[in-house]
Amino acid sequence: MFDQRAVNLTSLNIVKGEFLATIQLATNQLEQFISSRERQDLVQSCLESFQQIDGVLRMVQLRGADMLAGEIVDALKSVPVGADASYDAMLAAVSTASFVATRYFEYVQQFEKSMPVLLLPFINDLRATRKLAPIPDSHFLVMNPVGAPEQHGAVEPFSSDAARRFRHMFQVGLLGVLQGQNADYSLGLMQRALERTNAMASGKPFAKVLWSAAVSLRAIRETHMALLTPRKMLFSALDRQLKQLVAQGEGFLDSTFDESLLRGFVYIVAASGSESEQAKAVRSVFAVMPMGYCESDVEEELNNLRGPGLSTVQSVAEVIREELRSSKNALEMASQGGGDIVATYPDMIASLTRIADTLSVVGLASPGQVLREQVNKIRQWDQDAHAANNSELIEVADTLLYIESTVSALQNINLSQAKLAETNALGKDQIIAKSQLAEAEKVVLDEAQAGLALIKRAMASYAESGFDPIHISNLGKSLNSVRGALILMNMARAAKVAESCIQFVDTKLLRGDSSGAIQQLMETFADAVMSLEYFLEAYIAVHKQDNSILEIAEESVKALGYPVN
């Protein structure tokens, strides 16, 4: 089978010398131009060098890297001679991208595989400086969009009222996601809404979008994938499609849909690494080429890519150590009362600035920023002709020791700020004190959740048995227990929904009605139960009643014929 990660190492080795020499030349020209923006020869030479790099990468078909080089070329074409500060972001993005291009070339040779998705953040940073739309994560996905899924579960007739209700359910969940409440219950509402809508779209072209989107939400929940802005925009775009479905009716299901939506949802499933039956079905139906990685792998490899390359670590470390050595000597002499410390400030400022710039280039932004803060202090001392005292000099020396330790660690590990952020965040949840009232509340909520879980199991057994009433004989009792818990929690509105559910069970289900509509009624009843479940989960998460979720439950019991009074 074709491996999309495979690379031709022979081709890379042949062009390696030319590539590294040319990109080093281009980088030097770029740095000179950033400092001397009136020199037309520099920007023109830099552009020609990157055009040559672009040609080399296209020749060896290094996917992703050729796109990055192309974006660098396009960005440089838009930079005029004498570019003012408004071009700083673009030039910074070009500078970062040139480093990443070199690092990626080394990465591919080191690991003998390509992973072009790693370059998308840098490609999109360049595009953003020119106000172009970002390239989606799914760009490098190899799939066949023609596939058609098999229908699983009940098929329901199309209903405009149901379509409106399901879209509302989707919107409530999406709103929670857009507001940063990426809790499972928000995603669960969205997933349920799409599954129910898909049941009415069986065999229609738009069904594949609904199905893949529902499975992608299941995968996100299962594997705890990040909901970054592009994914929020993807689901927002789907909401606009659901809006058209509500407006146009069943005919919309046969209309041509935006293939980028389908690709986006299939990519999420593929990148999740989920091995659920639904995820496997999506990958099979759309003939998804194995990517060889999942999202957690991308994050780890991005950290590696942003870090220093193996071939440059030694030289970078040595350069930094040499710069540090002179500054440390000056500090040591000053602390011992030897020499004029004020006279050493200009050289120290220049040396430490070069170190800070180097740290930023190799991806060590945090140490670089710490050092810049010290540089600013020394610059102020220089302006004031202030002879720093021993305590002030010790603070600078401590920073230099920190930088030196960082450089030493650079040779052995991939440095990451994630661990530091994780350590700083420790203890936030631990400081939440639980009063006796909170403990009592927890007991009641646990009982309500246990009751809802029992109800769901009873409903599943009832459906599997061909709607044998024996399986739901205690359903009313369980619902009443949940209702009591809701009343104790002062959730009167939710308790009324539970009361309507009890009425439905007592007057409809327990009569043993086996008409053809009973399965659809059970699905709607399940919507109400699920909404109560998510309502409680939302309360537990933020300690606040979310009435928007209750609206979905109320719509569901109303559709059953038992509206809340």
| Percent of the chain with pLDDT strictly greater than 90 | 28
Q: What average pLDDT does the segment 508-512 reach? A: 73
Q: Is residue 294 located within the same domain as residue 165?
A: yes
Give pLDDT, residue 227: 87
Strongest mean pLDDT among 106-115, 143-152, 209-218: 209-218
Say what the pLDDT of residue 265 is: 96
Percent of the chain at pLDDT > 70 equals: 86
Summarize the confidence of residues 140-146 as an average pLDDT: 89
* Cβ(82)–Cβ(91) below 8 Å: no
* CA distance readout (Å), 152 to 146, 189, 202, 211, 523: 19, 19, 9, 10, 14
Residue 415's pLDDT is what? 38
Task: Give me the pLDDT at residue 517, please.
Answer: 75
As a whole number of angstroms, the longest Cα–Cα distance in the chain is: 100
- 335: in domain: yes
Check whether residue 167 and residue 281 sit in a common domain: yes
Residue with the two structure tokens 């619902």: 479
pLDDT in tens, 234-264: 999 999 999 999 999 999 998 888 899 999 9
- pLDDT of amino acid 419: 36
pLDDT of residue 420: 31
Rounded mean pLDDT, 78-97 = 88
Decide which of 253, 272, 302 is a domain's last residue.
302
Same domain membership, residue 296 and residue 168: yes
The better pLDDT of the pair 88, 407 is held by 88
- pLDDT category of residue 426 using cuts at 50, 70 and 90: very low
Are 177 and 294 in a shared domain? yes
| CA dihedral (264, 269, 270, 271) positive or negative | positive
Do 441 and 534 reside in the same domain of the chain?
yes
Report residue 417's pLDDT band, with 50, 70 and 90 as the boundaries: very low
Q: Are 269 and 281 in contact (CB under 8 A)?
A: no
CATH of the domain at 263: 1.20.120
Cβ 140 vs Cβ 319: under 8 Å: no
State which of 278, 302, 326 marks the end of a domain.
302
Check whether 4 has a pLDDT greater than 60. Answer: no
Between 265 and 301, the higher pLDDT residue: 265
Average pLDDT over residues 290-310: 74
Residue 507 domain-assigned (yes or no): yes
Overall size of the chain counted in residues? 565
Beta strands in 19-167 (DSSP E): none
Integer Cα distance of 563 and 286 in angstroms: 42
> Any residues with CB less than 8 A from the CB of 557 and at least 6 apart, and which?
497, 500, 501, 504, 528, 563, 564
Write 108-114 long-range contacts (CB < 8 A, 24+). 108/7, 108/12, 108/62, 108/65, 109/9, 109/12, 109/13, 109/16, 110/310, 112/7, 112/9, 113/5, 113/6, 113/7, 113/292, 114/4, 114/5, 114/6, 114/7, 114/62, 114/63, 114/64
| 3-state SS record for 97-128 | HHHHHHHHHHHHHHHCCCCHHHHHHHHHHHHH
What is the reported pLDDT for 61?
A: 83
Helical (H) or strand (E) element with 560:
helix 547-560
**Whether residue 346 sits in one domain with residue 288:** no
In this structure, the number of other CB atoms found within 10 A of the CB of residue 428 comes to: 8
Question: Tokens 């710069």 appear where?
Answer: 323
Is there a contact between 111 and 36 (Cβ–Cβ < 8 Å)?
A: no
Q: Is the pLDDT of residue 9 over 70?
A: no
Per-residue confidence (pLDDT) for residue 195, from 0 to 100: 93
Average pLDDT rounded to a whole number, residues 6-33: 81
pLDDT of residue 414: 39
Average pLDDT of the residues in 55-68? 87
Instruction: Indicate the range of 202-206, 321-325, 480-484 predicted with least confidence.
Output: 321-325
Which residue do the tokens 């080093």 mark?
A: 24
**3-class SS letters over 175-211:** HHHHCCCCCHHHHHHHHHHHHHHHHCCCCCCCHHHHH
Per-residue model confidence (pLDDT) at position 436: 47
Q: How far apart are CA 115 and CA 106, in angstroms?
A: 12
| Residue appearing with tokens 């040139």 | 98
Please give the torsion angle defined by the CA atoms of residues 457, 459, 463 and 464, in that order, rounded to the nearest 10 degrees: 10
Per the domain annotation, does 98 fall within a domain? yes
Domain hosting 367: range is 312-413
Residue 440 shares a structural domain with residue 392: no
Given 302, 330, 350, which residue is the final one in a domain? 302
Token pair for 496: 């009324």
User: Does 95 share its domain with 41?
Assistant: yes
Q: Which residue has the higher pLDDT, 190 or 347?
A: 190
Let me know if residue 63 belongs to a domain: yes
pLDDT band with cut points at 50, 70 and 90 for residue 409 = low
**Tokens 């109320």 identify what position?**
554
Which residues neighbour 393 within 8 Å (Cβ) at sequence distance 6 or greater? 331, 334, 335, 341
Global model pTM greater than 0.85: no
Residue 312 — pLDDT band, cuts 50, 70, 90?
A: low
Same domain, 77 and 172: no
Give the containing element (helix H, strand E) for 113: none
- Cβ-Cβ contacts under 8 Å for 360 (sequence gap 6 or more): 368
Task: Provide the domain count of the chain.
Answer: 4
pLDDT grade for 418, boundaries at 50, 70 and 90: very low
pLDDT at 428 over 50: no
- Predicted local distance difference test score (pLDDT) of residue 6: 58
Decide: 64 and 119 in contact? Cβ < 8 Å: yes
pLDDT above 80 (res 558) = yes
| 3-class DSSP state of 354 | helix
pLDDT score at 146? 86
Give the whole-angstrom CA distance, residue 100 versus residue 122.
8
Average pLDDT over residues 135-162: 84
